[in-house]
């Protein structure tokens, strides 16, 4: 009989993209956005740090926009809406933009230690090299997540684009760890 553990899931980063239908004059925008940073010799995009919600937005001359650093999909939408409003005030046509969630990074805690040696032996598509990195690298099949499993009972889950998939991956991993008696 395997005992499932209580799972605590914390979304730590949501990465999303969208595009506007015209090119962005990054040097021109930089003059009107003092908080932005733009050094084309080092990086082709402009970095804009927002405080509410705390996030970073990358603007590219092509019209592509990337948001990172938010803790929820709602915060991501707020961030990208704020950037669209700024661009509209600067005279850009934003059109109907579609936000695409690219990746959600979550920290999962199972509340118990995990036997990493056995974990790497039992779980398929796993790799563990403790001299190189203190976690088991595991690729799940369904949902298709990439996970880092730590001895402390924590897991980093990435590669999914909905909260539902993140919760499904964390629950599935909990069942696998319990089923194979991998909790210490």
Task: Catalogue all structural domains in the chain, each as residue range(s) with its CATH number.
Answer: 21-96 (3.30.310.10), 104-179 (3.30.310.10)
pLDDT digits (tens, 9 = 90+) for 10-32: 999 999 999 999 999 999 999 98
What's the pLDDT score for residue 68? 97
Handedness of CA 140, 146, 147, 148 (dihedral sign): positive
Instruction: Note the pLDDT of residue 35.
Output: 80
Give the pLDDT score at 72: 95
How does pLDDT run across 79-94, given as a tens digit for each residue?
999 999 999 999 999 9
Predicted local distance difference test score (pLDDT) of residue 4:
54
Q: What is the pLDDT of residue 184?
A: 87
CA–CA distance, 131 with 78 (Å, rounded to integer): 42
Residue 1 has pLDDT above 50, yes or no: no
Report pLDDT for 137. Answer: 97
Q: What is the mean pLDDT of residues 39-44?
A: 96
**CA–CA gap between residue 73 and residue 160 (Å, rounded):** 13
pLDDT tens for residues 124-171? Answer: 999 999 999 999 999 998 889 999 999 999 999 999 999 999 999 999
Give me the mean pLDDT over the 40-62 stretch.
95
> Per-residue pLDDT averaged across 52-69, rounded?
96
- C-alpha 100: how far from its chain's center? 12
Average pLDDT value over all residues in the chain: 93
Q: Residue 3: what pLDDT?
A: 53
Q: Is the pLDDT of residue 5 over 80?
A: no
**Strand extents, DSSP E, 38-176:** 46-51, 54-59, 64-70, 100-109, 126-127, 135-139, 146-150, 154-160
Chain centroid to Cα 89, Å, comes to 29
Region 104-122 average pLDDT: 96
């Amino acid at each position: 009989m395997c005992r499932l553990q209580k799972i605590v899931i914390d979304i730590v980063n949501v990465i999303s993209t969208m595009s506007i239908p015209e090119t962005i004059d990054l040097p021109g925008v930089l003059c009107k956005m003092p908080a932005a940073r733009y050094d084309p010799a080092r990086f082709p995009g402009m970095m804009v740090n927002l405080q509410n919600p705390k996030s970073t937005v990358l603007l590219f001359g092509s019209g592509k926009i990337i948001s990172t650093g938010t803790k929820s999909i709602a915060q991501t939408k707020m961030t990208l809406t704020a950037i669209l409003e700024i661009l509209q005030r600067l005279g850009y046509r934003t059109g109907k933009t579609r936000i695409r969630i690219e990746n959600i990074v979550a920290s999962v805690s199972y509340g118990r230690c995990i036997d990493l040696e056995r974990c790497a032996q039992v779980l398929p598509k796993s790799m563990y090299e403790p001299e190189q990195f203190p976690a088991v690298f595991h690729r799940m099949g369904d949902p298709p997540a990439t996970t880092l499993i730590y001895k402390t009972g924590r897991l980093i889950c990435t590669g999914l684009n909905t909260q539902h998939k993140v919760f499904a991956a964390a629950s599935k991993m909990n069942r696998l760890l319990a089923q194979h008696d991998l909790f210490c």
